[in-house]
Amino acid sequence: MNAINRFTHLTERPVLTEIDQLVRQQLAPHTVAIDRKGFYPGDFMHALGQQGAYRLHLASQQLNTGTDFTRAISAMESVSRECMSTGFCVWCQDALAWYLEHADDASVRDYWLPQISSGKQLGGTGLSNAMKHFASIEPLKIHVRRVEGGYLANGTLPWVSNLGPDHVFAAIFQLEGSSRNIMALTRCDQPGFRLQQCTEFTALEGSGTYACHFQDSFIPDQQVISHEVGTLIPRIRSGFVLLQMGMGLGVIQGCIDIMHAMRETHQHVNGFLDEQPETLEVALNDARKATALLGQEVTGDASNELFADVLQLRYGASELALRASQAAMLHAGARGYLADAPAQRKLRESYFVAIVTPAMKHIRKELHRLHAA
């Protein structure tokens, strides 16, 4: 956790009473169904938008106040503490809003962003393939050719989340016959596009994850976020990754909650385990402080230095989530193996924190590149 411990200023987690209450009342009753039956909590996602959770990090959506990445991440943490599948959907919604905030064409931003940031329109982020492409891990999987008024798209993205028949998502397309890429919105109900249900996952089943197929699907210019992605990515990458801290912090806090709950009946034996909740709480608070500090810098700073700091912090959060979930499982003991037990769910969720793009191996590859530059 060296990267997290570099940050020493004290910053407490903001209190988000309304969102915490919404999580208890409208999300918690469905957590097991989300995890085991693949229930997608669409009503909760809309309600969260009505509480303003998706606009906290957006300068253009504030009324005489600045952006607040810390509160945006804290809202996601509250959701992920209960159910990280839904916390992941919150990140997808936040990330999509973040891309639109930086749209090249103000008219595209002004039309789509209020719908996304309010939760009226739900949507996802299809940038996993693109982020891997820019790290020289895999090629871009969807291509477009220019036609009058827009582009025709072809190809398949294997996994895009927070989707449904009436959702939208952003993706990056390779322009045929050019080295240039574009970013554009896709409407899941547009002609030439279809969603395909993925095979069953062991976790994140309620995240609205589908394979996305394009066959001469028309994308009008009114849905193009950027006609030149090369200038966009440096402006959005740090925010894209830093927002994911909400997932990691929430899982870690959820694991600590389990350890405290088990202490009520099993402290006489759990006290002999090396990992105790107090130690994890110190590391978690350090991670929150680091997140708050970097959150003050991501708007307007496109530097490699900031991106490296964000990646290092994000890597540390993955390590801590894995450590915390193992500790929670050991504290829960045999009870953690019950099909609806929070401990085994948090264990599976922590692995997703470690492998969602950018995965730990992706981060290490990218840090190697940045440090060698």
pLDDT at 10: 31
What is the DSSP track for 229-285? Answer: HHHHHHHHHHHHHHTTHHHHHHHHHHHHHHHHHHHHHHHHHHTTSS--HHHHHHHHH
Neighbours of 273 (CB within 10 A): 12
pLDDT at 4: 40
pLDDT at 8: 32
Residue carrying the six token digits 């993205």: 157
The list of the chain residues with pLDDT below 70 reads 1-15, 63-66
Q: Residue 211: beta bridge partners?
A: 196
pLDDT at 3: 40
pLDDT at 2: 40
Distance (Å, whole) CA 174 – CA 144: 6
pLDDT at 269: 97
By residue count, the chain amounts to: 373
Domains in the chain: ranges and CATH? 2-122 (1.10.540.10), 125-229 (2.40.110.10), 232-372 (1.20.140.10)
pLDDT at 63: 67
Backbone Cα Rg of the chain: 20
Q: What is the pTM of this model?
A: 0.94
pLDDT at 119: 98
Q: Residue 171: beta bridge partners?
A: 184
Q: Residue 182: beta bridge partners?
A: 173
Distance (Å, whole) CA 243 – CA 183: 20
pLDDT at 66: 64
Q: How far is CA 226 from CA 117, 173, 201, 260, in A?
A: 19, 10, 33, 48
Token pair of 369 as six digits: 């590149």
